[in-house]
C-alpha cells in the first residue's frame, strides 16, 4: 500500500522520512535500517547526524544493510558506496563499524559474496528500508527486466544508469563501473516498511510507472505496489505525471 506525500521542498520530504526513522529507533530494541546511496537520502542522513549530535540519539544497537555497491572498485575508492556511507553518515554517528553492512564490490568470488551478503541478512528483518529510484524505474541496482524473485546478485548497469551516475565520475561515463552487486527485488520486498524518495523532473516517468503503471519487470519499482507499507516522498516535479495529484 502506498502513502504518497507531495511537498514543495526537499527539506519537508527529509523531515517526513526522518520521522519514520526516529519511530523505528525509538521503538525497537535492535533497530534494523536498510540504507541507500545516491543524492536522494543525503538530507535524511544530515537530519540523523544532527539529531545524534543535538539529542544524543544513539546508534550503538542499530544494524544497517546497504542496498548495493559498484563492482570492480575498491572500498576505499572515493566513489564507492562504502565510502559514501562513511562520508555521509557512519563517520558522524556512534554506530559500531561491525554493525554496518555494504556489499564488497571487489571480492575475488563475486557469486560467493552475493550469497554471503544475502545470508548475513537472515534473522534480521529490515524495519525500515530507505530507497531512491532510478530514472528508468530501478530500485537499488535492479534494472528493468530483473526478476521479482531476485536476491542479491551481480548486475550489468544500463547505459541510462551509467550516464545518470557519470556526474560522480568527472562527468565521464567511461569511468563509471559497468557492473554492481545489488540486493534483489525479493530482498527489498522483505523489509517491513519502505520509504522512497523521488525528486526532479527526470524521475517523473519512473514515478508514474511505479505508482500507476502495471506491475511489471519493465519498471522494477512497480513491484512496490504489492508491498504493504510504502511511503513515497515526492516533490511536484517528480509527481507531475501522476493523475489526481
Ligand atoms: C543509483 C543507486 C540507486 C539510487 C539511484 C538514484 O543508481 N544505485 O539506489 O536510488 O541511483 O539516485 P539519486 O538519488 O542520486 O537520484
Around ligand 1, the residues with Cβ closer than 6 Å are 36-40, 67-68, 132-134, 140-141, 161, 165
* Confidence category of residue 1, pLDDT binned at 50, 70, 90: confident
What SS3 string covers the chain?
Answer: CEEEEEECCHHHHHHHHHHHHHHHHHHCCCCEEEECCCCCCHHHHHHHHHHHHHHCCCCCCCEEEECEEECCCCCCCCCCHHHHHHHHCHHHCCCCHHHEECCCCCCCCHHHHHHHHHHHCCCCCCCEEEECCCCCCCECCECCCCCCCCCCEEEECCHHHHHHHHHHCCCCHHHCCCEEEECCHHHHHCCCEEEEEECCHHHHHHHHHHHHCCCCCCCHHHHHHHCCCEEEEEECCCCCCCCCC
In tens, the pLDDT along 94-141 reads 999 999 999 999 999 999 999 999 999 999 999 999 999 999 999 999
Tell me the pLDDT of the chain averaged across its residues: 97
Q: Which atom of ligand 1 is nearest to the CA of 132?
A: 10
Over the stretch 136-161, which tens digit does the pLDDT of each residue have? 999 999 999 999 999 999 999 999 99
Cα(29) to ligand 1 centroid in Å equals 30
Q: Is the pTM of this model over 0.85?
A: yes
Query: Can you give the pLDDT at residue 244?
Result: 74
Higher pLDDT, residue 1 or 203: 203
Amino acid at each position: 500500500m502506498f502513502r504518497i506525500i507531495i511537498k514543495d521542498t526537499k527539506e519537508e520530504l527529509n523531515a517526513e522520512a526522518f520521522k519514520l526513522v526516529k519511530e523505528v529507533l525509538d521503538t525497537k530494541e535492535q533497530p534494523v535500517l536498510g540504507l541507500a546511496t545516491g543524492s536522494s537520502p543525503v538530507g535524511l542522513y544530515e537530519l540523523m547526524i544532527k539529531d545524534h549530535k543535538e539529542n544524543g540519539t544513539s546508534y550503538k544497537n542499530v544494524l544497517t544493510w546497504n542496498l548495493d555497491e559498484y563492482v570492480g572498485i575498491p572500498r576505499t575508492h572515493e566513489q564507492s558506496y562504502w565510502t559514501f556511507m562513511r562520508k555521509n553518515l557512519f563517520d558522524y554517528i556512534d554506530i559500531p563499524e561491525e554493525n554496518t553492512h555494504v556489499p564488497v564490490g571487489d571480492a575475488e568470488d563475486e557469486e560467493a559474496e552475493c550469497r554471503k551478503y544475502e545470508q548475513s541478512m537472515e534473522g534480521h528483518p529490515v524495519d525500515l528500508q530507505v530507497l531512491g529510484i532510478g530514472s528508468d524505474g530501478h530500485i537499488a541496482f535492479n534494472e528493468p527486466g530483473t526478476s521479482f524473485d531476485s536476491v542479491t546478485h551481480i548486475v550489468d548497469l544500463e547505459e541510462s544508469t551509467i550516464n545518470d551516475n557519470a556526474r560522480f565520475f568527472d562527468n565521464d561515463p567511461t569511468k563509471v563501473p559497468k557492473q554492481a552487486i545489488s540486493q534483489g527485488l525479493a530482498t527489498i520486498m522483505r523489509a517491513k516498511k519502505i520509504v522512497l524518495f523521488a525528486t526532479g523532473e527526470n524521475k517523473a516517468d519512473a514515478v508514474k510507472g511505479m505508482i500507476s503503471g502495471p506491475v511489471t519487470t519493465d519498471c522494477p519499482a512497480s513491484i512496490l505496489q504489492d508491498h504493504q507499507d510504502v511511503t513515497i516522498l515526492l516533490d511536484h516535479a517528480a509527481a507531475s505525471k501522476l493523475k489526481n495529484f
